[in-house]
Every structure is written in C-alpha cells, then in structure tokens.
Amino acid sequence: MSRSDYDVVIGLEIHAELNTNTKIFCGCPNKFGVDPNTNCCPVCVGMPGALPVPNKRAVELTIKAGLAVGSTINDMAVFERKNYFYPDLSKAYQISQLVKPICLGGGITLDSGKFIRLNRIHLEEDAGKLIHSFDETEIDYNRGGVPLIESVTEPDISSADEALEFLTKLRNRFVFSDVAKCRMEQGGMRCDVNLSVKRKDSNTLGTRTEMKNLNSFKAVARAIEYEANRQMDALDNGEVILQETRKWDDERGISFSLRTKTDSQDYRYFPDPDLLSIRIDRELVNKLQAELPLSQEARREKYEQTYGLPGADAEVLSNSKVVSDFFDDCVKLLPEYKEVANWVMTEILKLDVSEEVPVTPANLVSIIKMMLDKKITRQNAKELLAKVLETGEDAEVLAKKMDMLSSISDTDIETLIDKLIAENEKAVADYSKTPDKVTQFFIGQVMRATRGKADGSKVKAIIESKLG
C-alpha cells in the first residue's frame, strides 16, 4: 500500500522541570550543573525513615502550568508511589500522581486551527541521571527529587510538523508563565513519543510504540519520521507491530527495541502513606490565574494593538521571554515604544540574551532619554551603551565621566563655526566646487573641538546656511 493509505497517530508525554528554588520534597537546591552527588539528602535519595514534605511552590507552578493551557484544576490531588527498579531511582519508587493529578484536560490550538487535547498534567519527582562511558556507568543523584510536570496529550497529533508546533507552543506557554525554563539541552524538558499507524479506512487505533526521553526538537521530528516509516513498512509486509519501548539513537538515526510492553506494566501504584492528599482551594487558583503573566500571543498582540508597533517588531520582541520582559520593563520607564523597540531590536538583540539581558532596563532607558533630550548624540549613545556593557556602571555617571554630556548651546556652535570659517579660507573657497566634502570637513572640525557632543545634523544645517 502507499504511504497515503495510512494515518500516523501520535501522543506525546512531555516532562518539564519546574522553576522552584528547592526540590519537591526536601530543602536541597533545585539547580543544574553542580558536582555529581553533592546536592542530595536522605529524603531525595530515599533513606529509610526520611520523610518527604511537599514543596508548595511546586504545586502552585503545576496549577499555573494547567491554567496556561486551559486545564481544569482538581480540588484535590494525590501523590502515589510508582514502583519500579532502575539504578537512577534509589528509592525504587517514584512519587507521582495517577488517579488524581493536579490538572485535567486543556490543550493547544495549532496554526491550522486543529486543537490538540491534553489529557492531564501531573506533578512528580525527577530521577537521577546515569552517565555512561564506554566501559562503565556512573550515577549522579543530584537530579533526583527535582520537581517535574508531565503533560500527556491525547493521540491527536498526525505528523512530525504538528508535533514540533505543539511542543514549541507548549514550551512557550510554560516559559512565558514562569513555570519552567524548558532548557532541552540541559534535560529541563524531555519528550516521549507514542506512535502508531492505522489504515485510513479503519476506525480503530493501531498498536503503539513508545520512544522515551528525546531531548531535542530535531530528535523528536527524526524519530517520528523513522518510526512511522518503520511501522508502515512492517504492516505492508504483513508483520504485526509489537507494543514496545524503543530507544532512539540520534547518531545513527534509527530506533531499536528496548523492551516489549505486554499490556501496561504493573507499577503497583498506591497512595504514598507519607504524604497527605493536596487540597487546592479556589481562592488559590483564582489568585494564580490573576497573577499569570501574559502569554507570548497576548504580548505580540499588545505590542501591535496597544503600542502601535509594526507586526514584524511585535513578533521579534515577543519571540523570547527574556527579551519581552526586558522590553516591557523599559517601556514602563519610558513609553517611547518605537524608539525603545528599535534599540532593543538592534543593540540588545545582537548581545547574548539567552539567559538574561546584560544591561538593566533603567540603564538602557537612561541612555535613550539622554539622547532624546539631546544631551548626547545618537552616536555617543551607542558608545555609551558599549561602555555600560563593558563596565556595568550607571549610564549617567559614565556619560559625565566620558565628558559626553552636551553643554554646548546652539549659539556656542555658531560661534565655533564662525571661527572655523575664518581660519579655513581655502576650504571656504572650495565650497562651490565640492560642497559635500567641505561640509564634511567642517563637521569633522566641530566634532573634534566638541569631542562629539554637537548634534551632527544641526552642525550641517548651520554650515550650509553660512556657506551655501
């Protein structure tokens, strides 16, 4: 049969590490990139007798995640033990949520108008990390107990493109609502792909396979293409698809079977006797809803509709949360939307803003203000920004230090030009032949004498009126 006789059916399970200061059930810091096994305690490695205490912030961020994608927030949620053995899980069970997750339903609309339903978002703890080298495996338990939300979609996704669009939009919802940083390169967001194929004329879903822990969007897309083709080939050859967990090997561009899953594995879930069920009152939900930062889409619309910026500017400025927050802070201080937008898009976006903008909104705004007030020229404003970036000092203090602040009045400039004209007879005589060159010469002289403080266009106008 041809490829067009098949439908591809995909459901995603997306894990995202929450933006909390501490882990989910203990006081260990939630941070990435410290020495292995230095960030653990009896609770997060599961020593006998150690008691977990739920992190309230983690529960709140899970509620916010749900609100950001239109989920219903349950009045009560229950932590359950998911029992299995794997070396990265020292307790031999993971605390998760099964029957009563915090969020139910919700979803995201793709650009095509298609709605991808979410089944649930639940809160759980992350496991440690196995580090494989060619002849041994080491374990780092630092990540164990990091709060994690798992978002599970219904099998509504039909292609790699739809999967990528969904993931991008979901990530943006979480990032823009301050729920999670979703840094895939640090393992802060990981995705499992469940995929089956079925004949278009069939109403029942095919048997699915699951590929776990894909850690880049590109890997997700490649794994989907590969697996869809593998399953269609198998069906074409009259083979049956086994329900199995497969491992995607990004280097080789193939997936292979890890284990077959005869029906669903028995994790012997049961409510964790060390933890009370979580009661979520409506007041808290309403408060979190009211505090929810604007989504990326809402920001883009605000920039266009309320600030009157061109669509292209609105798109660029709302592209990243870091830049969008920075821009919002700047225009709060100085509501010159287009001028500030131009500075952010040209001068700020050429810097590394992946983590944060390396200048404060107050400093950038003070530079722009000095320029708009004609205290410094546009050229000097750019030099000043470079110096602020280099030293981190206050822009106004630096402007004074660098002697940029213009104390030259228009009459001072005129007097200076009169003097220069008197001193440069030859240049004056050449004006009728090469006016541009002579004007440039005088502008240069004025700038040198004023150390760049004069306004170039004004100087040009005065010279032309005197010589022309």
How far is residue 129 from each of residues 84, 124, 126, 162, 174, measured CA to CA in Å? Answer: 16, 16, 9, 30, 24
If contact means CB under 5 to 8 A according to the sort of partner, which of Zn ion, ligand ADP, none does residue 462 touch? none
Residues numbered 176 to 195 that lie near ligand ADP (CB under 6 A) are: 194-195
Over the window 12 to 31, marking each residue x when it contacts ligand ADP by CB under 6 A and - when it does not, the resulting string is xx------------------
Give the residue, chosen from 20, 177, 196, 363, that forms a contact with ligand ADP under the rule CB under 6 A: 196
- Torsion of Cα atoms, 154 then 158 then 163 then 165, to 10°: -110
82 near ligand ADP, rule: CB under 6 A: no
CA distance 203 to 3: 17
Which of 9/330 has CB closer to ligand ADP? Answer: 9
Q: What would the two tokens of residue 83 be? A: 């029992």
In angstroms, give the least distance from the CB of 68 to ligand ADP. Answer: 19
In angstroms, give the least distance from the CB of 40 to Zn ion. Answer: 5
If contact means CB under 5 to 8 A according to the sort of partner, which of ligand ADP, Zn ion, none does residue 26 touch? Zn ion
| CB crowding 418-456: b at 16 or more within 10 Å, else e | eebbeeeeebbeebeeeeeebbebbbebbbeebebbbbe
Q: Which H or E run contains 96? A: strand 93-96
Q: Which residue is nearest to ligand ADP (CB)?
A: 11
7 near ligand ADP, rule: CB under 6 A: no
In angstroms, give the least distance from the CB of 42 to Zn ion. Answer: 7
CA distance 254 to 265: 25
If contact means CB under 5 to 8 A according to the sort of partner, which of ligand ADP, Zn ion, none does residue 41 touch? Zn ion
Q: Is 115 helix (H, G, I), strand (E, B) or coil?
A: strand
In angstroms, give the least distance from the CB of 218 to ligand ADP. Answer: 20
Give the residue, chosen from 154, 178, 225, 244, that forms a contact with ligand ADP under the rule CB under 6 A: 154
Residues numbered 240 to 299 that lie near ligand ADP (CB under 6 A) are: 264
Q: Which H or E run contains 19? A: none
Give the residue, chosen from 41, 139, 275, 322, that forms a contact with Zn ion under the rule CB under 5 A: 41
Which of 69/340 has CB closer to ligand ADP? Answer: 69
CA distance 141 to 122: 22
Q: If we measure between CA atoms, which residue out of 73, 52, 271 comes closest to residue 147?
A: 52
11 near ligand ADP, rule: CB under 6 A: yes
Give the residue, chosen from 208, 222, 246, 299, that forms a contact with ligand ADP under the rule CB under 6 A: 208
CA distance 63 to 442: 66
Q: What would the two tokens of residue 130 be? A: 């196995």
3-state helix, strand and coil shares in percent for the chain, rounded to the nearest 5 = 40, 20, 40
- Torsion of Cα atoms, 268 then 269 then 272 then 277, to 10°: -160
Rg (CA), the chain: 30
Q: If we measure between CA atoms, which residue out of 31, 38, 353 comes closest to residue 186?
A: 31
Q: If we measure between CA atoms, which residue out of 114, 142, 113, 106 comes closest to residue 14?
A: 106
Which of 44/398 has CB closer to Zn ion? Answer: 44
Q: What is the distance, to the nearest Å, from the Cα of residue 56 to the centroid of all Cα atoms in its chain?
A: 24
Which of 12/78 has CB closer to ligand ADP? Answer: 12
106 near ligand ADP, rule: CB under 6 A: no
Q: Which residue has the tokens 């150690």?
A: 50
The single-letter code of the amino acid at 285 is V
In angstroms, give the least distance from the CB of 232 to ligand ADP. Answer: 14
Which of 91/122 has CB closer to ligand ADP? Answer: 122
Which of 147/206 has CB closer to ligand ADP? Answer: 206
24 near Zn ion, rule: CB under 5 A: no
Size of the site for Zn ion (CB under 5 A): 5
Size of the site for ligand ADP (CB under 6 A): 16
146 near Zn ion, rule: CB under 5 A: no
44 near Zn ion, rule: CB under 5 A: yes
Which of 192/313 has CB closer to ligand ADP? Answer: 192
101 near ligand ADP, rule: CB under 6 A: no
152 near ligand ADP, rule: CB under 6 A: yes
For the chain, what's the residue count?
Answer: 468
CA distance 343 to 327: 10
204 near ligand ADP, rule: CB under 6 A: no
Is residue 255 within 8 Å of 230, Cβ to Cβ?
yes
Which of 13/244 has CB closer to ligand ADP? Answer: 13
Which positions lie near ligand ADP, rule CB under 6 A? 9-13, 152-155, 194-196, 205-206, 208, 264
Which positions lie near Zn ion, rule CB under 5 A? 26, 28, 41, 43-44
